[in-house]
Amino acid sequence: MANAPIDLDKPLMDLSSPGYSSSWTIRDAVEGLQIFGGIGSGKTSGSGRYFALKYLSNGFGGLVLTAKHDEKALWQEYCKQAGRLNDLIIVEPGAGYHFNFMEYESTIAGSDKAITLNLVQVLKTVINASREKTGRGQEDSFWEDALDLLLANTIDLCLLAYGKVTVQLLYEIAQSAPRKIIVQQPVAPQQGQPQTDTTPSPPKPFQVAYDAAMDKTRQQVEAWKKVSMDQLRHIQSNIEFTRLASEHLPDVRLMGFIQNFFRDSFKNLAEKTRAIIEFNLIGFLYNLLREPTYSMFCRYPSNFTPEDCLKGKIILLNLPVKDYHKMGQDAQIMFKYVWQRAMERRRITPDARPVFLWADEAQNFLHEHDAAYQATARSSRIATVYISQNLPNYFANMGGGATSDHKVKSFLGTLGTKVFHANADIETNKYASDLVGQAYFKRDQHSRTIAGEFSTSASYSYDLEHIIRPEAFVSLRTGSKANNFLVDGVLHTQGKQVAKDANFKTISFNQKFSL
């Protein structure tokens, strides 16, 4: 039996005022929501609390990313109020939940080529996000192309040699890839010195994988030769034979690319250049190999997946950045990106459940594909909620510099609704004031003259000014007992009037709001 169609115009918040009817709906929710507010402004306990409870009470599934350790308890309370406690999946060390992202991406890919492309995209997205947050992003496309090639060839070698990809194998292969041979003059041992140990060392992981891949391609070639004798009878040279084998056997062609990359291109890079490329990959893989990330996301088969959210589950990644730092941040960005792609893959039907992506202190979880993802999130019924103090937080976490301003503004432009709470940041307040817009205000003018006799005159003019001046955001109420637990926020929507002749409205959120 099919589920009832989802009414996208169902109100989640009544915005009506005397003489004007308006509401904020599920349709508005899936166009994205950004909440700004300074420390202690009530952004989490005011508007954040309200929207979270509304999403849960309307059956949304979702993903919650955590920056602070108290967010787990907060969402347990939200889910309890909404009667959704059984839908809450808390992914944390020792909880028994595992998501093997490499296994998952390999399963949905369908072919080795697709597996490689998927894993390269996931790994590179998290690596680049980490580099931007530390201000180490590279403008030169060489570094990005080089990282792509190292990732792709390492994954291809892994697949060809073992038929699978794991973080451990990638780490060992990348770390032991061949280097330039530095020829040194032999030094004769002096009398009385011990002789050098000449016992051959065991082969390195790269060489083991390389030999295994070569063996598999040789076996394919031998099998192909047996069934292609007539075709091969007229072959005159090894070069012609290799070309023909590459045309008929994709793995032979792939092995040729792997050989060229590791034995020629990568091996002969300048040591400093190579070190930069290697450290970008190996450093990230090393963090995945450490506990608790390894057990949660790499070691065991998956017992939950992003698709659980489509069934109404709320996945909370309890790896708060304040406690787990870079390890927790990388793991959450990785899952977030995999989740985003999974949500966009689904086929939307009239009864398709809306899902939300929730990130308080959202600047910690941004990546390079967020703007492109958010541009199409509406059609996939994904309600993104990002909460942050101010614009400079986003600028700093997108690498700083001239380009970060454009990246942030582009990203914010894809979020249809914005709520501005009390803030002391000048740039954020100016952005909010500019967004609300300007209007003409009538100004009366009076003049008096005394030149032999007294006279007066009156006139007026229209001046173009901000409807809400930037400094007005400083004085918005911030909740607590002193403000009767009311938190003021200016809600702005794009393409929709929420008040008479206006697409903004000042709203008071109650910190004691409950369902």
Instruction: Average the pLDDT over each of 82-86, 317-321, 379-383, 501-505 and give the range with the smallest value.
Output: 501-505
**What is the average pLDDT across 464-492?**
94
Angle (CA) 228-234-236 rounded to 5° is 115
**Residue 233's pLDDT is what?**
63
Cα 57 from chain centroid (whole Å):
26
Residue 370 makes CB contacts below 8 A (sequence gap 6+) with: 411
Please name every residue paired with 314 in a beta bridge, in sequence order, or none if there are none: 62, 88
**What is the average pLDDT across 267-272?**
89
Instruction: Average the pLDDT over each of 28-37, 139-148, 322-331, 501-510 and give the range with the smallest value.
Output: 139-148
| pLDDT for 495 beyond 90 | no
**Residue 450's pLDDT is what?**
65
**Residue 208's pLDDT is what?**
95
**Residue 142's pLDDT is what?**
84
Cα 313 from chain centroid (whole Å):
20
Q: How confident is the model at residue 1 (pLDDT cuts 50, 70, 90)?
A: very low
| pLDDT for 241 beyond 90 | no
- Of 465, 397, 466, the closest CA to residue 431 belongs to 466
Beta strands in 288-369 (DSSP E): 314-317, 355-360
Counting beta carbons within 10 angstroms of the beta carbon of residue 475, is it exposed (0 to 12), middle (13 to 18) or buried (19 or more)?
A: exposed
| pLDDT for 445 beyond 80 | no
Query: Containing H/E element for 136?
Result: none
Mean pLDDT over the full length of the chain: 88
**Residue 379's pLDDT is what?**
94
3-state SS, residue 338: helix
**Residue 242's pLDDT is what?**
72
Q: What are the structural domain ranges in the chain?
A: 11-95+324-510, 101-180+202-285
Cβ-contact 118, 337 below 8 angstroms:
no
Hey, what CATH topology would domain 11-95+324-510 get?
Rossmann fold (3.40.50)
**Residue 196's pLDDT is what?**
57
pLDDT, one tens digit per residue, over 387-407 is 999 999 999 887 656 567 788
Q: Greater confidence, 131 or 190?
A: 131
pLDDT, one tens digit per residue, over 188-239 is 556 666 655 566 678 899 999 999 999 999 999 888 777 676 666 666 666 7
Residue tagged 């959450």 (tokens): 332
pLDDT, one tens digit per residue, over 98-117 is 999 999 998 887 777 788 99
Cβ-contact 64, 358 below 8 angstroms:
yes
